[in-house]
Chains A and B, each alone.
Chain A
Amino acid sequence: MKNILTKLKINFTTYLFFFSCFLTGYIKQALIIFLIVLVHEFGHVTMAILNSYKINKIELLPFGGVTTIDKPINTPLAKEFKIAIGGFLFQFILFIIFLLFYKFNIIDNSFWQIFIKYNFSIILFNMIFIYPLDGFKILSCFVENFFGYYYAYSILGIISFVFLILFFGLNTVFSLNNYLILSFLIYKIFEYFKIKSKLYYRFLLERYLRNVEYKKIQYEKSLNLKKLRKDYNHYFYVTKGVINEREVLAKKFDISKRF
């Protein structure tokens, strides 16, 4: 899989962070953090490959990373969940490996203490409900199961914003790295709201062009495309009777009305 290495990209904040670590003598800590972050991202990569998706880019950040995968918006939520949990899973496996190393005295106590501290702080950080962290992704798997994509997007955006405010307010640590991470998250949430309508349009167009048989069926009382959920096939009640979502989408996208 030599192609994977070409997809690796290191964010400039990560370069700054590791550079400052090396200059101030925190060399061991920097290497351990780098290992943990790498393993975390390759957790996502492995789960994506196991689900037959291609990787677009693996971006490494100081306390985590972002893996962009070539998958449609309408991926099954079970698969999304499996990919999202990959990071935590691989960090857990790494924990077991290092626990064995420690028990068999391959690594000493100081190394183990440093590893434990950073492994758990990275896991905890990635579980916060802020876009684009893993916790947010996992939460979205549940929210998108119960709400239409359009509404779920807004709900998740608000939750993410609230948690970002909390994180910003409760975080009193004076650290440059901290401010860099915060500004990255703030930038990401602006981007999240900016691309909302574009993603919604793409979501609908994908549904129309792909014609996937969804196993679950959902009946809606009023004709509203914003109520379309991932993983469900929708039927709308209209005056004539019941109409499938595909007919509605065909009217929207296809001039010749063939589908």
Chain B
Amino acid sequence: MNGMFDENDITTIKSKAAKNKEEQSFISKYFTKVLWSIIFVLASLIFINSSENNYLLYKKEILTKNFPYSKINKWYKKYFGKVIETEKKEDVATMVFSNNLQYEKIEKVGDSEKIVFGQKTIVESFASGIVVFMGEKENLGYTIIIQGVDDVDIWYSNIKNSSIKLYDYIETNAVLGEVDDSLIVTIVKDNKYLGYEEYINQTKD
């Protein structure tokens, strides 16, 4: 028969508090947690709207910047090892820039650079990182932004037939998609814009 040894059995003594917790209904267990969540959201809203400075801070830090997934990823891998133990390891120190892009010329377009291939080319990623943005950017068209492990954001614009998804972890030289004629690339490091050649030579050192 089931339940022969009941809750009062000497082998399963529980404190009164534990018993009371078990008898609570599903809703009441989460009541305090929901309340705390609501308080947190309200407090954040009050903080943001309390002064002009705070609002500007909110705009700058939260609305414009990306959450630094790649940075935290790299930091975590250094001190705690792999996040999920069956992941392949990508070491920043051994990251080799092996992309030998054959292009016709490079034109400067504002802060970005337009790499003209002259024909349909398959574009591979220059460095490994996490995809943080996929969408339309003004003057650039459809853009994929990859937040690299070496703190460099690379924007790849003008790409078609891309099969990667948001928040994918992309390895170096992974296929991003194809371009008809030219690729527009914007390389951002610490709010400074680098050129393509500059970037390659930098990582080779």
Which A residues lie at the B interface, using CB under 8 A? 2, 5-6, 20-21, 23-29, 33, 53-54, 70-72, 108-111, 117-118, 121, 173-178, 198, 202, 206, 209-210
A interface, by DSSP: helix, strand, loop or mixed? helix
**A-B pairs with the 10 shortest C-beta distances?**
A25-B69, A174-B81, A176-B80, A175-B81, A24-B73, A175-B85, A175-B82, A25-B130, A173-B85, A178-B85
- Contact A25 to B84, CB < 8 A, known contacts A53-B2, A206-B4, A209-B4: no
Q: A177: which of B26, B77, B85 is its contact (CB, 8 Å)?
A: B85
Minimal beta-carbon separation of A150 from chain B (angstroms) = 18
Task: Scan B67-111; emit 1 where CB is below 8 A from any A CB, else 0.
Answer: 001101100110011111111000000000000000000000000
A121: chain B residues within 8 A (beta carbon): 86
- Contact A23 to B85, CB < 8 A, known contacts A6-B26, A70-B3: no
Q: Which residue of A lies closest to B77 (CB)?
A: A24
- By the criterion CB–CB under 8 Å, are A173 and B82 in contact? yes
- Contact A110 to B83, CB < 8 A, known contacts A24-B69, A72-B4: no
Within 8 A of A (CB), among B1-37: 1-5, 11, 25-26, 29
Minimal beta-carbon separation of A20 from chain B (angstroms) = 6
Minimal beta-carbon separation of B92 from chain A (angstroms) = 14
A26: chain B residues within 8 A (beta carbon): 83-84, 87, 169
Taken together as a complex, chains A and B put the C-alpha atoms of A56 and B2 apart, in Å, by: 12
Taken together as a complex, chains A and B put the C-alpha atoms of A72 and B1 apart, in Å, by: 8
**4 additional A-B residue pairs with CB within 8 Å, beyond A70-B3, A121-B86, A175-B82:** A174-B81, A177-B83, A178-B81, A202-B11
